Protein backbone atom coordinates (compact mmCIF):
# COMPACT_ATOMS: atom_id res chain seq x y z
CA UNK A 1 0.00 0.00 0.00
CA UNK A 2 1.40 3.36 -0.97
CA UNK A 3 2.07 5.74 1.84
CA UNK A 4 2.38 8.84 -0.34
CA UNK A 5 -0.88 9.99 -1.91
CA UNK A 6 -2.06 12.92 -4.00
CA UNK A 7 -4.51 15.16 -2.21
CA UNK A 8 -6.79 17.87 -3.51
CA UNK A 9 -8.87 20.40 -1.68
CA UNK A 10 -11.00 23.42 -2.36
CA UNK A 11 -12.25 25.99 0.15
CA UNK A 12 -15.95 26.37 0.85
CA UNK A 13 -16.48 29.28 -1.57
CA UNK A 14 -14.25 27.79 -4.27
CA UNK A 15 -11.74 30.65 -4.50
CA UNK A 16 -8.72 28.62 -3.39
CA UNK A 17 -7.56 25.20 -4.54
CA UNK A 18 -4.71 23.16 -3.16
CA UNK A 19 -3.00 20.06 -4.50
CA UNK A 20 -0.19 18.23 -2.73
CA UNK A 21 1.55 14.94 -2.17
CA UNK A 22 1.47 13.83 1.45
CA UNK A 23 2.50 10.75 3.40
CA UNK A 24 -0.45 9.16 5.13
CA UNK A 25 1.83 8.04 7.96
CA UNK A 26 2.65 11.67 8.77
CA UNK A 27 -0.96 12.68 9.42
CA UNK A 28 -1.43 13.92 12.95
CA UNK A 29 -3.98 15.55 15.20
CA UNK A 30 -3.01 18.51 17.34
CA UNK A 31 -4.91 19.23 20.55
CA UNK A 32 -3.04 22.44 21.47
CA UNK A 33 -5.06 25.43 22.59
CA UNK A 34 -4.07 27.44 19.49
CA UNK A 35 -5.42 24.73 17.20
CA UNK A 36 -8.63 24.64 19.20
CA UNK A 37 -9.02 28.40 18.88
CA UNK A 38 -8.07 28.75 15.21
CA UNK A 39 -10.24 25.86 14.11
CA UNK A 40 -13.18 26.45 16.41
CA UNK A 41 -13.04 22.67 16.83
CA UNK A 42 -11.85 20.34 19.60
CA UNK A 43 -8.65 19.56 17.67
CA UNK A 44 -7.08 20.05 14.28
CA UNK A 45 -5.79 17.33 11.96
CA UNK A 46 -3.02 17.99 9.46
CA UNK A 47 -1.15 16.33 6.60
CA UNK A 48 2.37 17.48 5.80
CA UNK A 49 3.86 18.45 2.41
CA UNK A 50 7.25 20.02 1.61
CA UNK A 51 7.39 23.01 -0.75
CA UNK A 52 8.12 20.95 -3.88
CA UNK A 53 5.02 18.82 -3.33
CA UNK A 54 2.57 21.61 -2.59
CA UNK A 55 0.76 23.89 -5.00
CA UNK A 56 -1.98 26.43 -4.61
CA UNK A 57 -4.31 28.37 -6.88
CA UNK A 58 -5.66 31.60 -5.45
CA UNK A 59 -4.28 33.78 -2.69
CA UNK A 60 -5.15 33.03 0.92
CA UNK A 61 -5.15 35.55 3.73
CA UNK A 62 -2.16 34.99 6.01
CA UNK A 63 -2.18 35.58 9.74
CA UNK A 64 1.19 35.45 11.49
CA UNK A 65 1.01 33.71 14.82
CA UNK A 66 3.82 34.54 17.25
CA UNK A 67 4.37 31.72 19.71
CA UNK A 68 5.49 32.02 23.32
CA UNK A 69 9.05 31.31 22.15
CA UNK A 70 8.86 34.18 19.62
CA UNK A 71 8.60 31.66 16.80
CA UNK A 72 6.46 32.94 13.90
CA UNK A 73 4.11 30.79 11.87
CA UNK A 74 1.84 31.64 8.98
CA UNK A 75 -1.80 30.56 9.35
CA UNK A 76 -3.46 30.66 5.93
CA UNK A 77 -7.19 30.78 5.32
CA UNK A 78 -9.65 31.93 2.67
CA UNK A 79 -10.46 35.59 3.25
CA UNK A 80 -13.93 35.13 1.77
CA UNK A 81 -15.29 31.96 3.37
CA UNK A 82 -12.85 31.50 6.25
CA UNK A 83 -11.89 27.92 5.42
CA UNK A 84 -8.64 27.08 7.18
CA UNK A 85 -6.11 25.86 4.64
CA UNK A 86 -2.65 25.36 6.09
CA UNK A 87 0.05 26.59 8.44
CA UNK A 88 3.67 27.03 7.39
CA UNK A 89 6.97 28.48 8.53
CA UNK A 90 8.00 31.98 7.43
CA UNK A 91 10.28 30.54 4.69
CA UNK A 92 7.36 28.44 3.39
CA UNK A 93 9.35 25.22 3.14
CA UNK A 94 6.92 22.88 4.90
CA UNK A 95 3.13 23.00 4.81
CA UNK A 96 0.79 21.57 7.43
CA UNK A 97 -2.41 21.18 5.46
CA UNK A 98 -5.73 20.97 7.31
CA UNK A 99 -7.30 17.66 6.40
CA UNK A 100 -10.93 18.75 6.85
CA UNK A 101 -11.22 20.36 3.41
CA UNK A 102 -9.29 17.67 1.52
CA UNK A 103 -11.16 15.25 -0.72
CA UNK A 104 -9.01 12.38 0.63
CA UNK A 105 -9.71 13.13 4.30
CA UNK A 106 -10.93 9.60 4.94
CA UNK A 107 -7.53 8.23 3.95
CA UNK A 108 -5.81 10.61 6.36
CA UNK A 109 -6.36 9.04 9.71
CA UNK A 110 -4.15 10.72 12.32
CA UNK A 111 -1.23 8.48 13.16
CA UNK A 112 -0.20 10.54 16.11
CA UNK A 113 -1.96 12.81 18.61
CA UNK A 114 0.07 15.71 19.97
CA UNK A 115 -0.48 18.22 22.80
CA UNK A 116 -3.01 15.86 24.32
CA UNK A 117 -2.50 17.48 27.72
CA UNK A 118 -4.85 20.22 26.49
CA UNK A 119 -7.36 17.95 24.78
CA UNK A 120 -11.01 18.26 25.73
CA UNK A 121 -11.66 16.35 28.93
CA UNK A 122 -14.41 14.31 27.20
CA UNK A 123 -12.10 12.89 24.50
ZN1 LIG B 1 -13.15 30.38 0.18
ZN1 LIG C 1 -1.83 22.72 17.59
CA 61 to centroid of ligand 1, rounded, Å: 10
In-domain check, residue 69: yes
In-domain check, residue 123: no
CA 117 to centroid of ligand 1, rounded, Å: 32
CA 62 to centroid of ligand 1, rounded, Å: 13
CA 52 to centroid of ligand 1, rounded, Å: 24
Count of structural domains, the chain: 1
CA 16 to centroid of ligand 2, rounded, Å: 23
Q: What is the pTM of this model?
A: 0.94
pLDDT in tens, the chain (123 residues): 689 999 999 999 999 999 999 999 999 999 999 999 999 999 999 999 999 999 999 999 999 999 889 999 999 999 999 999 999 999 999 999 999 999 999 999 999 999 999 999 998
In-domain check, residue 93: yes
pLDDT of residue 89: 97
pLDDT of residue 2: 86
Integer angstrom CA distances of residue 120 from 51, 87, 88, 107? 33, 22, 25, 24
pLDDT of residue 68: 87
Residue 37 parent element (H or E): helix 33-39
pLDDT of residue 121: 94
In-domain check, residue 23: yes
* Three-class SS state of 70: coil
In-domain check, residue 77: yes
pLDDT of residue 98: 98
CA 40 to centroid of ligand 2, rounded, Å: 12
In-domain check, residue 50: yes
Domain harbouring 30, CATH code: 2.170.150.70
Residue 61 belongs to domain spanning: 4-118
Amino acid sequence: MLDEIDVTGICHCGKIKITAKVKKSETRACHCTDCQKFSGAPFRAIAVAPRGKFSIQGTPKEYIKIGDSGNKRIQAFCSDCGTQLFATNMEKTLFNIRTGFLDQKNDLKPNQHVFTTSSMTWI
